[in-house]
Structure formats: C-alpha cells, structure tokens
Chains A and B, each alone.
Chain A
C-alpha cells in the first residue's frame, strides 16, 4: 500500500507541476497558479527523501 501511494504521489507531483508550469506560461502568476504550486509542494513533501521539516535548512 505504501509503495502504491508513493507511486501515485510521484505521478501526481509530475502532473501537478506540469499544470502549474502551463498556467505560468499562459498568464501572469496569480492566486490560482500559487494554489497549484502549493499543492505541488505539499505533494513533494510526501515523497521519499523529503520530509515536512524546515526543508531549506
């Protein structure tokens, strides 16, 4: 189950990132784009080797 979730989240990360990048190319960055970027970062934190710590430290 854990492996399946990891795979799903990995695919989700790629697709949400694509969605956000597409929005950035189509228009100036707005709140909608920021929300997709937030979703992308939240998914990224769930991936292996990432953690919800203070990641820029």
Chain B
C-alpha cells in the first residue's frame, strides 16, 4: 500500500504532523509512507523515521520560467505548466492520499494526484472543480478551526483525526539519536533555551521587551540561557544580548541546522518562546515550554504539548508589562502554583487546563454539543436567543424555497433567494458571534454536497436546513418548528415534513 501525506504548511504544522505519521506507520506497518512538503520547509522531516520518502513540491522549478522569462508570458506559462504536469504524472500512483494542508492549492493538487482507485482524506475537488471535503474531520476543520473561530482541539489531534488514527503515547517518541547528537557547544548541565523569533511579526515580542523580561526574571538570574533562531534573527539576538544583565548567555542564533535543535532543546531544562516552529520540537522532545502567545494566534490549536508547559496569552504585546510576564515565567521555571491567567499543559494527550473564563467559552460548548453530542449550553445573554430568532426566520425562508423547487419550474429565483439567506445568516453571525459555530456547521455541510441532479441537491439541502431548524428549536421551543404548507409542490422530492 502506498500512502501519501500532503503537508504544505510551515515548520510548526510539519512537526505537529509527526505523531500522526508514527501512528500511520503503526497502523499500516508494511506500507510505503511518503510525505510531500515544500522544499524550504522539508528539513522539518529529517529524522522522521516513519517516512519512507520526502517529496519536495518543486515550487522553484514551477515558477522559474515565469520569473526568468518576464513578459514572454505564453511560453513561460507553458513551461511552468509542463513542470507541474510532469510532477503530477510522476506521483499519481497512491492508494491513500491524506491532505493535511487545508488550502485551495493543496485541494487541487490532491485531486490531480489521485486516481479512480485512490482513497482520499482531506480537502480535494469534485470533478466540476468545486471544493470537496470527503471526511468529517476535515469538514470540522473547514467550519470551526482558525482565527476568530472557537475550536479548542489541537492541530496534532485534528491531523490524527483526518488520518483516521488514534494517537498513543509512543507516537510522540522520536529517534533518540536526534536528541543524543553530539554538538560542539559549551552547554552546561542545566540550561534554558530561548527562541526570540517566529514566522510572522505579530507573533513576537520586540527586543526591548525580551530584554526587560529576562532582566526582571529572578529564576533565570543564574541559569545559562541558550539563544537559538534563524539567520535573520541574529541582529535582534545580538541586541538583546547587549541589553541583558545575565552574562551566562550562549548566543547561537543563525548557527544551527534545524535538526540540531532536537539535541539543544531535547537536553534543556525548559524552552521559552512565542509561537514558533522550535516550540513544536520542544513538544516532540517532551521539554516543558513557556509559551508567550499572541492574541492573534489560536494557542488551543498550535500551543505546546509537552507535560508541564504553560501558556501565557497576551492581548496586546505593547501594553502588558514585562514584570508581569517575568512573574509568570518565574512561576513556570520554579514549578510554583500557576496564576489563573496561565493555561496549563498536563500531558500531550489531554486538553489544556484553563482556569479562567474566556470570551468564547459558550461557543466552545456549542461546538461540543454540535459535534460531540454534549448538552447544548445555556446562553448567558439574550442576544444569542434574539439572533436565533432571526436565523430561524431566515431558515424558514430557505426551507420554503427548497420545498417549492419543483423540477417543472424555473428555480433560478429560488436559488437567488437561498443565496440571499446565506448572506443574511452571515450578517447575523457577524453581529452575534456566539451563533457562529451553528451557521458554520450548516454552511460547511452544504459545501460538502456533491454535484448531481438538482433533485438530489435540493434533498440534501432540505435535510441540512431541517437539522439546523431542529437545533434552533432546542432553544426557541416548538413554535419555531417549520410547518411545510407547500407539500403539493414537492414534485417527487423526499424532503422533511
């Protein structure tokens, strides 16, 4: 059996894929397991023993004709197309393709690499070019995961769901030679690793803030601090080095290969960073991490997983005092009782322990009710119910149109109205955000409807809108139920009544 896992995202997502790759190899021990990644990030697969072959997506070769030929577009595009075409033809013999990338490009790629015998999980395309989401885990991702949404399942766990594997503790184990690799750095017995950078500016503290935190931390006064990072972070690291009082600093920013980080981080007492790729190496090495997380990042999805890690999320990096961050950092280093503002990581297989109320607690409970069968939460304000009343009215209009879509009639008018209902539901959700999980579920399930006869699509939509109404009825009571007064116009449709 040949399995291809497509992971076209960056370092953090690739490292978050490691446990699933181990689990896939455990589930299919005789399979050939290949992973496709972008060339500039595929180093993050070095040392991943479960993988038989790393396939680099040749983006440089694909773009070279376009960038080299300038205005000679026609020829340049033809050459780029040929490179892409050859690449697809070379890699289209897989029995199972699992796309863990969730991007439009990856969905087209998945479709083009699969054949009639390929089992596909993750985003792909229907034959008519529309997005196809064949598995429930990817549909959940589409509906509920990301910034401004309320998912709290970690990416590691979502990836495993898409791969259809149940993670075990052993799936987190990495080849010991990675951690035992001998490096010629003067590392002391107990040291702390600090990564000051991240892939995007909004995720990082500025150098003055870092220096101030390190100067105010009592727990770090006597510890060796090992600064790691990429080439482009070297100047910042040098500046921080000049600003901090602790002179027991080993600054090796820009000097390490990515696979060296397993040894450096794996043998450290702890790891400190914002939301960065090496934090995921700490998770794989079971090195506890103090993660200073930006409000623009969903730490629930991408935070540290090593036991005893702590997450301190900050709404605005500019306004929070460095003394406060240093206080929580010291609490982490000394393993003292955590302040309730800090999120705790108790193990790599359990949910985070969050001791304080969060704005989106209600939405998360709603998600658990929709997808896991938990009880529907009691709303804590009337806005939610008011919004549901509006959604119910809109849903009634949608049901009315769907029941009226007799195959003998021109249904373009009905379709226009249904589109308008979708837009208005978005507007309601935009105003009352707590309704977002419900509407996102409905819209996603509609996206999943396969192309086909109008009658079949209408039936599918009817089922979904009726299910949606059932949920609204839980909150609004039986008077919100839709009574179909248009049964004579059903035209053979087997819809809900």
Contact = CB atoms under 8 A, between A and B. Distances in A.
Interface of A: 5, 8-9, 11-12, 15-16, 19, 24, 28-29, 31, 33-39, 41-46, 51-57
A57 to B, nearest CB: 3
Given A12-B66, A35-B88, A51-B10, 6 more contacts: A42-B63, A42-B84, A44-B104, A53-B9, A54-B13, A57-B146
A11 B80 CA distance: 15
B73 interface: yes
A42 B112 contact: no
A19 B77 contact: yes
Nearest to A57: B146
Contacts of A56: 102-104, 123, 141-142, 146
B147 A8 contact: no
Interface of B: 8-10, 13, 38, 41, 59, 62-63, 66-67, 70, 73, 76-77, 80-81, 84-85, 88, 101-105, 108-109, 111-112, 123, 125, 127-129, 141-142, 145-147, 200, 301
B286 to A, nearest CB: 25
Tell me the dominant secondary structure on chain B's binding face. helix
Contact of A12 (B59, B73, B88): B73
Tell me the dominant secondary structure on chain A's binding face. helix
B81 A9 contact: no
Contact of B105 (A9, A12, A38): A38
B108 A45 contact: no
A29 B129 contact: yes
Contacts of B103: 41, 45, 52-56
Contacts of A9: 63, 66-67
Nearest to A5: B67
A32 to B, nearest CB: 9
A31 B59 CA distance: 20
A16 B80 CA distance: 11
Contacts of B8: 52
Given A42-B105, A54-B103, A55-B104, A31 B112 contact: yes
Contacts of A5: 67
Nearest to A37: B108
Nearest to A8: B67
Given A31-B112, A54-B9, A54-B101, A38 B70 contact: no
A45 B129 CA distance: 19
Given A34-B108, A34-B111, A16 B77 contact: yes
A10 B226 CA distance: 41
A46 to B, nearest CB: 7
Contacts of B73: 11-12, 15
7 contacts: A12-B76, A15-B73, A15-B77, A19-B77, A35-B108, A42-B62, A54-B9
